[in-house]
Amino acid sequence: MRALVTGGAGFIGSHLVDALLADGHQVCVVDNLATGSRVNVNPGAEFVEADVRNREELVRIGRRFAPGVVLHLAAQTLVARSASDPLRDAEINVLGTVNVVQAAIAAGSRKVVFASSGGTVYGNAQPQPVPETQPLNPISPYGVSKVAGEHYVRVLCGQAGMTCTILRYGNVYGPRDIPASQHVITAFLHALLKGERPVIEWDGEQAKDYVYVGDVAAAHVRAIDAGDGEAFNIGSGREVSVNTIFRQVCELLGMTIEPHRGERRPGDVRRFTLDCRKADQMLGWRPATRFAEGLRRTVDDYRRPADLRRQDEATPIPLH
């Protein structure tokens, strides 16, 4: 199948592109390279530099490539930035999502798979682990934008006779993440390998559900032909505290260091884990990578010199 991936030059998106190509799909990557990199893009994929806020360009790309499925991962993902600039967050995550769905409709696609955020759409949910039936009650503008995106995808696809599947991620980690993401594992690695003391915000006992990026990519591939009209939690079903992660990263690096302590980030939740039984039952998906193994792979990759990472670029797709 022809698959278009927005955000396909980014951390999660590039792993998804790899998985799609390995599964025999033809892939077009759309990314504005604000946080993604051409280095990440598998040379087997076509590439277009474009922004999801530009509806006309998305429609042109979609009609040219004619994807059967659109997998929408492009987003503003920083909770703190969403709080400081909610308008920009909404422009990218809400209006950008509307543009992507309208482009999919114009291209005659049969399905949209939308990347949402289990860590923010549920808010401070009880009980734990959180099932998909939990009311959506975000406590940050980012969470609000993801909830709005879910509803727009569901309604617009339904009106157009298209199917959709929503995937609500846990905290995704793995190779190709960048410090600008402000993800805790990457932030720790970046600081420690520069000889700096990392910052642990709050008291470090906040505990989240961490899921390996390769497992998240596999969930998207499953969602192409399953889970129509449904939302699924995509996580590990287990929680790991920030303090525990810091200790394990230091052990893998052979370091002993005391972190700085900082204030709580606005919109951060105390703890969450995701109940992923529905994904197991309906998508045939479950996380395959244990946290210790995924963390080891992440640390090993981050320590590699940059010139040993993928340097090939994708072949541009002609637009005219």
What is the set of active-site residues? 142
E strand segments, 118-185: 163-169, 171-173
Cα separations in angstroms, 192 against 97, 249, 263, 266, 303 = 36, 9, 20, 25, 11
Q: Report the half-sphere exposure of 9 (CA within 13 A, side-chain side).
A: 23
Q: Where do we find the tokens 């309604």? A: 155
Q: Enumerate residues 6+ apart whose C-beta is below 8 A from 239.
A: 128, 207, 208, 209, 271, 272, 273
- Backbone angles phi and psi of 158, in degrees to 5: -60, -45
d(CA 48, CA 69): 17
Residues belonging to the chain? 320
Burial class (CB in 10 A: 0-12, 13-18, 19+), 307: exposed
Q: Name the β-bridge partners of 113.
A: 71, 165
